[in-house]
Structure 1
Amino acid sequence: MSCKVIIMGAGGRMGGTLVRLARAGGDFELAGVVERPDRLGEVQSLGYPAAGNLDALLPQAPGAVIIDFTAPEASVDMARTAKRHGNPAVIGTTGLTPEQQEELRSIARDVPLFWSPNMSVGVNVLLKVLPELARMLGPAYDLEMFEVHHNRKKDAPSGTAIKLAQCLAEARGWDYDKVRNYGREGIIGARPVEEIGVQTLRGGDVVGEHTVFFFGPGERVEVTHRAHSRDTFAQGALRAAKWLAGQKPGRLYGMADMF
Protein backbone atom coordinates (compact mmCIF):
# COMPACT_ATOMS: atom_id res chain seq x y z
CA MET A 1 0.00 0.00 0.00
CA SER A 2 1.44 3.36 -1.03
CA CYS A 3 2.07 6.14 1.48
CA LYS A 4 0.49 9.50 0.66
CA VAL A 5 2.84 12.45 1.19
CA ILE A 6 2.65 16.23 0.93
CA ILE A 7 5.89 18.12 0.28
CA MET A 8 6.43 21.56 1.81
CA GLY A 9 8.66 24.00 -0.06
CA ALA A 10 8.40 21.86 -3.18
CA GLY A 11 10.18 24.46 -5.30
CA GLY A 12 13.32 24.48 -3.14
CA ARG A 13 16.39 22.26 -3.28
CA MET A 14 15.29 19.70 -0.70
CA GLY A 15 11.64 19.99 -1.63
CA GLY A 16 12.45 19.37 -5.28
CA THR A 17 14.56 16.33 -4.37
CA LEU A 18 11.70 14.93 -2.27
CA VAL A 19 9.23 15.45 -5.10
CA ARG A 20 11.52 13.68 -7.57
CA LEU A 21 12.09 10.67 -5.34
CA ALA A 22 8.45 10.41 -4.27
CA ARG A 23 7.37 10.39 -7.92
CA ALA A 24 10.00 7.78 -8.84
CA GLY A 25 9.28 5.37 -6.00
CA GLY A 26 6.29 3.05 -6.20
CA ASP A 27 5.84 3.12 -2.42
CA PHE A 28 4.64 6.74 -2.39
CA GLU A 29 1.74 8.77 -3.72
CA LEU A 30 2.33 12.49 -4.01
CA ALA A 31 -0.90 13.91 -2.58
CA GLY A 32 0.11 17.54 -3.00
CA VAL A 33 2.80 20.20 -2.84
CA VAL A 34 3.02 23.51 -0.99
CA GLU A 35 5.06 26.57 -1.92
CA ARG A 36 4.99 30.27 -1.10
CA PRO A 37 2.31 32.14 -3.09
CA ASP A 38 4.95 34.10 -5.01
CA ARG A 39 6.59 30.83 -6.14
CA LEU A 40 3.44 28.74 -6.59
CA GLY A 41 3.69 28.87 -10.38
CA GLU A 42 6.96 26.93 -10.19
CA VAL A 43 5.23 23.82 -8.78
CA GLN A 44 1.79 23.96 -10.36
CA SER A 45 3.26 22.49 -13.54
CA LEU A 46 4.09 19.26 -11.68
CA GLY A 47 0.52 18.07 -12.19
CA TYR A 48 -0.30 17.51 -8.52
CA PRO A 49 -2.59 19.50 -6.18
CA ALA A 50 -0.63 22.64 -5.30
CA ALA A 51 -1.34 25.38 -2.80
CA GLY A 52 0.31 28.38 -1.22
CA ASN A 53 -1.29 27.47 2.09
CA LEU A 54 -1.23 24.08 3.81
CA ASP A 55 -4.67 24.65 5.35
CA ALA A 56 -6.14 24.79 1.85
CA LEU A 57 -4.55 21.50 0.80
CA LEU A 58 -5.05 19.19 3.78
CA PRO A 59 -8.85 18.74 3.45
CA GLN A 60 -8.10 17.09 0.07
CA ALA A 61 -5.53 14.71 1.57
CA PRO A 62 -6.74 13.19 4.86
CA GLY A 63 -4.07 11.08 6.50
CA ALA A 64 -1.28 12.17 4.13
CA VAL A 65 2.12 12.57 5.80
CA ILE A 66 3.56 16.09 5.49
CA ILE A 67 7.32 16.36 4.90
CA ASP A 68 8.96 19.67 5.77
CA PHE A 69 12.57 20.85 5.34
CA THR A 70 11.83 24.58 5.21
CA ALA A 71 12.74 26.93 8.09
CA PRO A 72 12.30 26.78 11.88
CA GLU A 73 9.27 29.05 12.28
CA ALA A 74 7.65 27.73 9.12
CA SER A 75 8.11 24.13 10.28
CA VAL A 76 6.59 24.82 13.69
CA ASP A 77 3.65 26.58 12.03
CA MET A 78 3.25 23.56 9.75
CA ALA A 79 3.12 21.30 12.82
CA ARG A 80 0.36 23.46 14.32
CA THR A 81 -1.61 23.11 11.09
CA ALA A 82 -0.98 19.34 10.97
CA LYS A 83 -2.39 19.08 14.48
CA ARG A 84 -5.57 20.93 13.50
CA HIS A 85 -6.19 18.52 10.62
CA GLY A 86 -4.83 15.36 12.25
CA ASN A 87 -2.11 14.71 9.64
CA PRO A 88 1.22 13.12 10.59
CA ALA A 89 4.31 15.19 9.80
CA VAL A 90 8.05 14.59 9.28
CA ILE A 91 10.39 17.53 9.92
CA GLY A 92 14.01 17.68 8.81
CA THR A 93 14.54 21.38 9.50
CA THR A 94 17.62 22.42 11.49
CA GLY A 95 18.22 25.48 13.64
CA LEU A 96 15.15 25.06 15.87
CA THR A 97 15.42 26.82 19.21
CA PRO A 98 14.87 24.88 22.45
CA GLU A 99 11.48 26.60 22.73
CA GLN A 100 10.49 25.50 19.23
CA GLN A 101 11.60 21.95 19.96
CA GLU A 102 9.52 21.97 23.13
CA GLU A 103 6.46 23.12 21.17
CA LEU A 104 6.97 20.22 18.76
CA ARG A 105 7.06 17.82 21.70
CA SER A 106 3.78 19.31 22.92
CA ILE A 107 2.13 19.00 19.49
CA ALA A 108 3.39 15.41 19.21
CA ARG A 109 1.13 14.42 22.10
CA ASP A 110 -1.85 14.96 19.79
CA VAL A 111 -0.61 14.02 16.30
CA PRO A 112 2.19 11.72 15.05
CA LEU A 113 5.25 13.93 14.65
CA PHE A 114 8.82 13.04 13.64
CA TRP A 115 11.81 15.37 13.82
CA SER A 116 15.47 14.77 13.05
CA PRO A 117 18.16 17.34 12.19
CA ASN A 118 19.73 14.70 9.94
CA MET A 119 17.86 11.94 8.11
CA SER A 120 21.03 10.15 6.97
CA VAL A 121 21.34 6.51 8.03
CA GLY A 122 25.12 6.91 8.34
CA VAL A 123 24.92 9.90 10.67
CA ASN A 124 22.42 8.16 12.89
CA VAL A 125 24.68 5.12 13.12
CA LEU A 126 27.44 7.52 14.25
CA LEU A 127 25.18 8.73 17.05
CA LYS A 128 25.26 5.14 18.34
CA VAL A 129 28.96 4.50 17.71
CA LEU A 130 30.64 7.74 18.83
CA PRO A 131 29.63 7.56 22.53
CA GLU A 132 31.11 4.07 22.77
CA LEU A 133 34.30 5.26 21.08
CA ALA A 134 34.54 8.19 23.51
CA ARG A 135 34.13 5.87 26.48
CA MET A 136 36.69 3.35 25.20
CA LEU A 137 39.35 5.98 24.43
CA GLY A 138 38.80 7.66 27.77
CA PRO A 139 39.32 11.18 29.16
CA ALA A 140 42.90 11.50 27.83
CA TYR A 141 41.45 12.16 24.36
CA ASP A 142 40.25 15.71 23.62
CA LEU A 143 37.02 15.99 21.61
CA GLU A 144 36.80 18.42 18.68
CA MET A 145 34.68 18.69 15.53
CA PHE A 146 34.31 20.68 12.35
CA GLU A 147 31.42 20.82 9.92
CA VAL A 148 31.23 22.08 6.32
CA HIS A 149 28.13 23.10 4.37
CA HIS A 150 27.16 25.09 1.29
CA ASN A 151 27.24 28.88 1.31
CA ARG A 152 23.46 29.23 1.55
CA LYS A 153 23.00 27.39 4.84
CA LYS A 154 21.56 29.79 7.40
CA ASP A 155 22.22 28.15 10.77
CA ALA A 156 25.58 27.44 12.40
CA PRO A 157 26.78 25.11 13.74
CA SER A 158 24.67 22.64 11.82
CA GLY A 159 21.98 20.74 13.65
CA THR A 160 23.86 17.53 12.91
CA ALA A 161 27.10 18.86 14.44
CA ILE A 162 25.24 19.90 17.58
CA LYS A 163 23.55 16.49 17.83
CA LEU A 164 26.87 14.66 17.43
CA ALA A 165 28.57 16.89 19.99
CA GLN A 166 25.71 16.43 22.43
CA CYS A 167 26.00 12.65 22.25
CA LEU A 168 29.73 12.94 23.01
CA ALA A 169 29.09 15.23 25.96
CA GLU A 170 26.53 12.79 27.31
CA ALA A 171 29.02 9.94 26.97
CA ARG A 172 31.50 11.90 29.08
CA GLY A 173 28.84 12.91 31.62
CA TRP A 174 29.18 16.61 30.76
CA ASP A 175 26.63 19.39 30.48
CA TYR A 176 26.82 20.24 26.79
CA ASP A 177 25.86 23.88 27.20
CA LYS A 178 28.77 24.35 29.62
CA VAL A 179 31.47 22.57 27.58
CA ARG A 180 30.66 23.59 23.99
CA ASN A 181 32.96 26.08 22.25
CA TYR A 182 31.85 27.41 18.87
CA GLY A 183 34.84 29.67 18.24
CA ARG A 184 38.30 30.63 19.53
CA GLU A 185 40.15 33.90 19.11
CA GLY A 186 42.99 35.78 20.83
CA ILE A 187 44.95 34.69 23.89
CA ILE A 188 42.55 32.21 25.40
CA GLY A 189 44.92 30.11 27.49
CA ALA A 190 45.23 26.34 27.61
CA ARG A 191 42.37 24.21 26.38
CA PRO A 192 40.12 23.07 29.25
CA VAL A 193 39.85 19.32 29.74
CA GLU A 194 36.06 19.49 29.72
CA GLU A 195 35.48 21.15 26.34
CA ILE A 196 34.12 20.20 22.93
CA GLY A 197 35.07 22.56 20.12
CA VAL A 198 32.68 22.74 17.16
CA GLN A 199 33.96 24.81 14.25
CA THR A 200 31.97 25.88 11.17
CA LEU A 201 33.03 26.23 7.54
CA ARG A 202 30.76 27.51 4.75
CA GLY A 203 31.37 27.55 1.01
CA GLY A 204 30.38 26.42 -2.46
CA ASP A 205 27.81 23.68 -2.84
CA VAL A 206 28.95 21.24 -0.14
CA VAL A 207 25.95 19.12 0.84
CA GLY A 208 27.31 18.29 4.28
CA GLU A 209 30.49 17.07 5.96
CA HIS A 210 31.19 16.38 9.64
CA THR A 211 34.47 15.23 11.18
CA VAL A 212 34.90 14.26 14.83
CA PHE A 213 38.44 14.27 16.25
CA PHE A 214 39.69 12.35 19.27
CA PHE A 215 43.09 13.96 20.02
CA GLY A 216 45.08 11.71 22.33
CA PRO A 217 48.66 11.27 23.52
CA GLY A 218 50.77 10.39 20.48
CA GLU A 219 47.84 9.76 18.14
CA ARG A 220 44.46 10.97 16.97
CA VAL A 221 41.35 9.24 15.70
CA GLU A 222 39.16 10.90 13.07
CA VAL A 223 35.64 9.88 12.09
CA THR A 224 34.17 11.61 9.02
CA HIS A 225 30.78 11.51 7.40
CA ARG A 226 30.28 13.11 3.97
CA ALA A 227 26.91 13.44 2.30
CA HIS A 228 27.38 13.25 -1.48
CA SER A 229 23.80 14.12 -2.40
CA ARG A 230 20.60 15.51 -0.90
CA ASP A 231 19.04 12.24 -1.97
CA THR A 232 20.50 10.75 1.22
CA PHE A 233 18.37 13.01 3.42
CA ALA A 234 15.30 12.83 1.18
CA GLN A 235 15.34 9.03 1.15
CA GLY A 236 15.60 9.01 4.94
CA ALA A 237 12.65 11.41 5.21
CA LEU A 238 10.49 9.31 2.90
CA ARG A 239 11.39 6.22 4.87
CA ALA A 240 10.41 8.10 8.04
CA ALA A 241 7.08 9.16 6.47
CA LYS A 242 6.18 5.58 5.62
CA TRP A 243 7.09 4.47 9.15
CA LEU A 244 5.26 7.37 10.82
CA ALA A 245 2.03 6.64 8.93
CA GLY A 246 1.59 3.59 11.17
CA GLN A 247 2.42 5.29 14.49
CA LYS A 248 0.23 6.84 17.15
CA PRO A 249 0.76 10.26 18.76
CA GLY A 250 2.27 10.50 22.22
CA ARG A 251 5.82 11.77 21.83
CA LEU A 252 8.16 13.36 19.32
CA TYR A 253 9.70 10.54 17.27
CA GLY A 254 13.20 10.47 15.77
CA MET A 255 15.50 8.28 13.70
CA ALA A 256 16.39 6.08 16.68
CA ASP A 257 12.72 5.13 17.06
CA MET A 258 12.45 4.14 13.41
CA PHE A 259 15.63 2.03 13.53
Structure 2
Amino acid sequence: MPGDALRVALVGARGRLGTAVARACRDDGHHVLAAGPGGDLPLREGADLVVDAAPAAATGHTVAQCRAAGLPLLSCASGLTPGHLDALRDLAAERPVLRAANLTLGHWLQRRTVALLAHTLAGHTDRPEAAVHERHTTAKRDSPSASALALAELWTDRTGEPPAELASLRSGLPVSEHTFRLTFDHQTLTIHHDVRSLAAAAAGALLAVRWLARARPGLWSMDDVYDDAARRSRHVDPYG
Protein backbone atom coordinates (compact mmCIF):
# COMPACT_ATOMS: atom_id res chain seq x y z
CA MET A 1 0.00 0.00 0.00
CA PRO A 2 1.10 3.64 -0.39
CA GLY A 3 3.10 5.12 2.45
CA ASP A 4 0.22 7.29 3.66
CA ALA A 5 -2.35 4.47 3.53
CA LEU A 6 -3.96 3.49 6.82
CA ARG A 7 -5.33 0.24 8.22
CA VAL A 8 -8.81 1.15 9.42
CA ALA A 9 -10.59 -1.25 11.79
CA LEU A 10 -14.26 -0.62 10.98
CA VAL A 11 -16.92 -1.71 13.47
CA GLY A 12 -20.33 -2.14 11.88
CA ALA A 13 -18.90 -2.50 8.38
CA ARG A 14 -22.06 -4.21 7.10
CA GLY A 15 -24.44 -1.44 8.15
CA ARG A 16 -25.58 1.36 5.84
CA LEU A 17 -23.11 3.91 7.16
CA GLY A 18 -20.35 1.33 7.60
CA THR A 19 -20.71 0.18 4.00
CA ALA A 20 -20.42 3.75 2.71
CA VAL A 21 -17.41 4.49 4.93
CA ALA A 22 -15.66 1.27 3.87
CA ARG A 23 -16.13 2.14 0.20
CA ALA A 24 -14.75 5.65 0.69
CA CYS A 25 -11.72 4.39 2.61
CA ARG A 26 -10.91 1.73 0.02
CA ASP A 27 -11.32 4.20 -2.83
CA ASP A 28 -8.79 6.44 -1.07
CA GLY A 29 -6.27 3.60 -0.84
CA HIS A 30 -6.76 2.61 2.80
CA HIS A 31 -7.10 -0.99 3.97
CA VAL A 32 -10.37 -1.76 5.78
CA LEU A 33 -10.38 -4.40 8.53
CA ALA A 34 -14.04 -5.23 9.08
CA ALA A 35 -15.63 -6.19 12.40
CA GLY A 36 -19.26 -6.83 13.28
CA PRO A 37 -21.08 -4.88 16.00
CA GLY A 38 -19.91 -6.03 19.43
CA GLY A 39 -17.29 -8.29 17.90
CA ASP A 40 -13.56 -8.33 18.48
CA LEU A 41 -11.50 -5.95 16.39
CA PRO A 42 -9.06 -7.50 13.88
CA LEU A 43 -6.11 -6.07 15.78
CA ARG A 44 -3.66 -8.78 14.76
CA GLU A 45 -3.59 -7.23 11.30
CA GLY A 46 -2.03 -4.07 12.73
CA ALA A 47 -4.83 -1.49 12.72
CA ASP A 48 -3.84 2.18 12.88
CA LEU A 49 -7.19 3.40 14.18
CA VAL A 50 -10.79 2.35 14.75
CA VAL A 51 -13.99 3.69 13.18
CA ASP A 52 -17.17 2.78 15.05
CA ALA A 53 -20.23 2.90 12.78
CA ALA A 54 -22.17 0.27 14.76
CA PRO A 55 -25.26 0.70 16.96
CA ALA A 56 -24.66 2.33 20.33
CA ALA A 57 -24.92 -1.01 22.15
CA ALA A 58 -21.47 -1.94 20.84
CA THR A 59 -19.76 1.26 22.01
CA GLY A 60 -18.62 0.06 25.43
CA HIS A 61 -16.96 -3.04 23.99
CA THR A 62 -15.26 -1.05 21.24
CA VAL A 63 -13.93 1.56 23.67
CA ALA A 64 -12.50 -1.18 25.89
CA GLN A 65 -10.68 -2.74 22.94
CA CYS A 66 -9.30 0.63 21.81
CA ARG A 67 -7.96 1.23 25.31
CA ALA A 68 -6.34 -2.20 25.47
CA ALA A 69 -4.76 -1.80 22.04
CA GLY A 70 -3.86 1.86 22.41
CA LEU A 71 -5.74 2.89 19.25
CA PRO A 72 -7.43 6.19 18.26
CA LEU A 73 -11.21 6.03 17.83
CA LEU A 74 -13.67 7.74 15.51
CA SER A 75 -17.10 7.26 17.09
CA CYS A 76 -19.98 7.69 14.63
CA ALA A 77 -22.60 5.71 16.58
CA SER A 78 -25.95 7.38 17.20
CA GLY A 79 -28.00 7.22 20.37
CA LEU A 80 -25.08 7.27 22.79
CA THR A 81 -25.96 7.44 26.47
CA PRO A 82 -24.22 9.67 29.05
CA GLY A 83 -22.34 6.54 30.13
CA HIS A 84 -21.04 6.01 26.61
CA LEU A 85 -19.90 9.63 26.43
CA ASP A 86 -18.12 9.28 29.78
CA ALA A 87 -16.28 6.22 28.40
CA LEU A 88 -15.18 8.23 25.36
CA ARG A 89 -13.89 11.01 27.61
CA ASP A 90 -11.93 8.52 29.68
CA LEU A 91 -10.33 7.03 26.57
CA ALA A 92 -9.55 10.54 25.29
CA ALA A 93 -7.24 11.08 28.25
CA GLU A 94 -4.95 8.47 26.69
CA ARG A 95 -5.71 8.45 22.96
CA PRO A 96 -7.24 10.68 20.28
CA VAL A 97 -11.02 10.25 20.24
CA LEU A 98 -13.21 11.94 17.67
CA ARG A 99 -16.91 11.99 18.49
CA ALA A 100 -18.92 12.68 15.33
CA ALA A 101 -22.61 13.36 15.91
CA ASN A 102 -22.76 14.20 12.20
CA LEU A 103 -19.97 13.70 9.68
CA THR A 104 -21.15 15.94 6.86
CA LEU A 105 -19.76 19.24 5.62
CA GLY A 106 -23.28 20.66 5.47
CA HIS A 107 -23.90 20.05 9.17
CA TRP A 108 -20.66 21.86 10.05
CA LEU A 109 -21.68 24.82 7.89
CA GLN A 110 -25.13 24.81 9.51
CA ARG A 111 -23.58 24.85 12.98
CA ARG A 112 -21.23 27.69 12.03
CA THR A 113 -24.20 29.66 10.74
CA VAL A 114 -26.18 29.09 13.93
CA ALA A 115 -23.19 30.18 16.02
CA LEU A 116 -22.81 33.34 13.90
CA LEU A 117 -26.51 34.13 14.28
CA ALA A 118 -26.33 33.72 18.06
CA HIS A 119 -23.34 36.06 18.19
CA THR A 120 -24.93 38.63 15.87
CA LEU A 121 -28.21 38.69 17.78
CA ALA A 122 -26.64 38.98 21.24
CA GLY A 123 -28.27 41.94 22.97
CA HIS A 124 -30.63 42.55 20.07
CA THR A 125 -33.99 43.94 21.17
CA ASP A 126 -35.97 41.76 18.75
CA ARG A 127 -35.31 38.35 20.27
CA PRO A 128 -36.35 35.55 17.89
CA GLU A 129 -37.93 32.23 18.77
CA ALA A 130 -35.68 29.32 17.82
CA ALA A 131 -36.79 25.84 16.77
CA VAL A 132 -35.04 22.69 15.54
CA HIS A 133 -36.87 20.20 13.32
CA GLU A 134 -35.35 16.97 12.05
CA ARG A 135 -36.47 14.12 9.81
CA HIS A 136 -35.05 10.64 9.31
CA THR A 137 -36.44 7.46 7.86
CA THR A 138 -38.30 5.02 10.07
CA ALA A 139 -35.09 2.99 10.34
CA LYS A 140 -33.57 5.67 12.59
CA ARG A 141 -33.75 4.36 16.14
CA ASP A 142 -32.95 7.36 18.31
CA SER A 143 -35.19 10.41 18.45
CA PRO A 144 -34.31 13.22 18.45
CA SER A 145 -31.14 12.60 16.49
CA ALA A 146 -27.68 13.47 17.76
CA SER A 147 -27.42 16.12 15.05
CA ALA A 148 -30.63 17.83 16.16
CA LEU A 149 -29.53 17.74 19.77
CA ALA A 150 -26.19 19.26 18.79
CA LEU A 151 -27.92 22.17 17.06
CA ALA A 152 -30.21 22.76 20.03
CA GLU A 153 -27.35 22.58 22.51
CA LEU A 154 -25.25 24.97 20.44
CA TRP A 155 -28.02 27.59 20.43
CA THR A 156 -28.61 27.13 24.15
CA ASP A 157 -24.91 27.44 24.98
CA ARG A 158 -24.50 30.59 22.90
CA THR A 159 -27.70 32.38 23.97
CA GLY A 160 -28.64 30.93 27.35
CA GLU A 161 -32.10 30.13 25.97
CA PRO A 162 -33.13 26.68 24.67
CA PRO A 163 -35.10 26.40 21.43
CA ALA A 164 -38.84 26.65 21.87
CA GLU A 165 -39.24 23.31 20.09
CA LEU A 166 -37.13 20.29 19.16
CA ALA A 167 -39.29 18.15 16.88
CA SER A 168 -38.60 14.80 15.21
CA LEU A 169 -40.29 13.05 12.29
CA ARG A 170 -39.66 9.45 11.22
CA SER A 171 -40.84 8.98 7.64
CA GLY A 172 -39.90 9.66 4.05
CA LEU A 173 -36.92 8.92 1.83
CA PRO A 174 -33.26 8.59 2.84
CA VAL A 175 -31.32 10.12 4.38
CA SER A 176 -32.15 13.06 6.65
CA GLU A 177 -33.13 16.70 7.00
CA HIS A 178 -32.23 19.13 9.79
CA THR A 179 -33.82 22.56 9.98
CA PHE A 180 -32.95 25.43 12.30
CA ARG A 181 -35.58 28.17 12.27
CA LEU A 182 -35.67 31.65 13.82
CA THR A 183 -39.05 33.36 14.01
CA PHE A 184 -39.19 37.13 14.50
CA ASP A 185 -42.28 39.32 14.78
CA HIS A 186 -42.94 39.53 11.05
CA GLN A 187 -40.38 37.26 9.39
CA THR A 188 -38.72 33.87 9.57
CA LEU A 189 -35.16 32.76 8.84
CA THR A 190 -34.54 29.08 8.04
CA ILE A 191 -31.26 27.17 7.70
CA HIS A 192 -32.05 23.80 6.16
CA HIS A 193 -29.68 20.87 5.59
CA ASP A 194 -30.90 18.00 3.40
CA VAL A 195 -28.77 14.87 2.95
CA ARG A 196 -29.74 12.62 0.02
CA SER A 197 -26.94 10.03 0.21
CA LEU A 198 -24.68 8.55 2.87
CA ALA A 199 -21.82 9.35 0.52
CA ALA A 200 -21.89 12.80 2.16
CA ALA A 201 -21.24 11.25 5.57
CA ALA A 202 -18.63 8.88 4.15
CA ALA A 203 -16.67 11.81 2.68
CA GLY A 204 -16.61 13.40 6.12
CA ALA A 205 -15.53 10.13 7.72
CA LEU A 206 -12.63 9.89 5.28
CA LEU A 207 -11.51 13.41 6.17
CA ALA A 208 -11.84 12.51 9.87
CA VAL A 209 -9.78 9.33 9.47
CA ARG A 210 -6.91 11.26 7.92
CA TRP A 211 -7.14 13.93 10.62
CA LEU A 212 -7.37 11.44 13.50
CA ALA A 213 -4.25 9.59 12.35
CA ARG A 214 -2.13 12.63 13.27
CA ALA A 215 -4.16 13.99 16.19
CA ARG A 216 -2.92 14.21 19.75
CA PRO A 217 -4.85 12.67 22.68
CA GLY A 218 -8.08 14.44 23.53
CA LEU A 219 -11.80 14.45 22.81
CA TRP A 220 -12.40 16.04 19.43
CA SER A 221 -15.38 16.77 17.19
CA MET A 222 -16.04 17.28 13.49
CA ASP A 223 -15.89 21.01 14.17
CA ASP A 224 -12.17 20.54 14.91
CA VAL A 225 -11.70 18.56 11.68
CA TYR A 226 -13.49 21.02 9.40
CA ASP A 227 -12.08 24.09 11.16
CA ASP A 228 -8.58 22.72 10.65
CA ALA A 229 -9.30 21.98 6.99
CA ALA A 230 -10.55 25.55 6.50
CA ARG A 231 -7.41 26.99 8.08
CA ARG A 232 -5.14 24.81 5.96
CA SER A 233 -6.92 25.65 2.72
CA ARG A 234 -7.04 29.40 3.34
CA HIS A 235 -3.96 29.76 5.56
CA VAL A 236 -6.08 31.81 7.95
CA ASP A 237 -8.84 31.07 10.44
CA PRO A 238 -12.04 32.28 8.71
CA TYR A 239 -13.74 32.56 12.12
CA GLY A 240 -10.85 34.05 14.07
Question: Matched residue of 1:54: which SS?
Answer: coil
What's the counterpart of residue 192 of structure 1?
none
Tell me how far apart the structure 2 counterparts of residues 203 and 70 of structure 1 sit (CA, whole Å). 22
**Post-superposition CA distance 1:90-123 (Å, at most 9, x none):** 1111211222212210111112211111011111
User: Partner amino acid for 2:213?
Assistant: A
Deviation at residue 53 of structure 1 after TM alignment: 2.9
Question: Matched residue of 1:242: which SS?
Answer: helix
What's the counterpart of residue 49 of structure 2?
65
Q: Which runs of 5+ in 2 are unaligned?
A: 228-240
Deviation at residue 54 of structure 1 after TM alignment: 2.2
Deviation at residue 83 of structure 1 after TM alignment: 0.9
Please give the root-mean-square deviation of Cα atoms over the aligned residues, in Å.
1.7
2:13–2:53 contact (8 Å) kept in structure 1: no
Tell me how far apart the structure 1 counterparts of residues 78 and 63 of structure 2 sit (CA, whole Å). 15
Quick one: which of 108, 111, 115 aligns to 1:131? 115
Does residue 21 of the first structure (1) align with residue 15 of the second (2)? no
User: Partner amino acid for 2:219?
Assistant: L
Tell me how far apart the structure 2 counterparts of residues 204 and 142 of structure 1 sit (CA, whole Å). 27
Deviation at residue 164 of structure 1 after TM alignment: 0.5
Does residue 53 of the first structure (1) align with residue 1 of the second (2)? no
Deviation at residue 68 of structure 1 after TM alignment: 1.0
What's the counterpart of residue 222 of structure 1?
190
User: Partner amino acid for 1:223?
Assistant: I
**Post-superposition CA distance 1:127-180 (Å, at most 9, x none):** 222022134344521001210001111100000000001111112123xxxx4x
What's the counterpart of residue 147 of structure 1?
134
User: Partner amino acid for 1:33?
Assistant: A
**Structure 1 segment 1-259 matched on structure 2, within 5 A:** 1-26=4-29, 28-30=30-32, 32-35=33-36, 53-55=39-41, 57-62=42-47, 64-137=48-121, 138=124, 140-174=127-161, 179=162, 195-249=163-217, 251-258=218-225, 259=227
1:69–1:75 contact (8 Å) kept in structure 2: no
1:7–1:68 contact (8 Å) kept in structure 2: yes
Tell me how far apart the structure 2 counterparts of residues 203 and 123 of structure 1 sit (CA, whole Å). 20
Deviation at residue 196 of structure 1 after TM alignment: 2.7
User: Partner amino acid for 1:234?
Assistant: A
Tell me how far apart the structure 2 counterparts of residues 33 and 256 of structure 1 sit (CA, whole Å). 27
Tell me how far apart the structure 2 counterparts of residues 167 and 91 of structure 1 sit (CA, whole Å). 20
Deviation at residue 255 of structure 1 after TM alignment: 1.2
Tell me how far apart the structure 2 counterparts of residues 74 and 90 of structure 1 sit (CA, whole Å). 14
2:9–2:49 contact (8 Å) kept in structure 1: yes
1:148–1:206 contact (8 Å) kept in structure 2: no
- Could you state the TM-score of these two structures normalised by the residue count of structure 2? 0.86
User: Partner amino acid for 2:45?
Assistant: Q
Deviation at residue 210 of structure 1 after TM alignment: 0.6
Higher Rg: 1
Identical columns (%): 27
User: Partner amino acid for 1:162?
Assistant: L
User: Partner amino acid for 1:60?
Assistant: E
- Could you state the TM-score of these two structures normalised by the residue count of structure 1? 0.80
1:149–1:206 contact (8 Å) kept in structure 2: yes
1:22–1:238 contact (8 Å) kept in structure 2: yes
1:165–1:196 contact (8 Å) kept in structure 2: no
> In the superposition, relative to structure 1, how do residues 60 and 163 fare at CA in structure 2: closer, same or farther (>3 Å)?
same
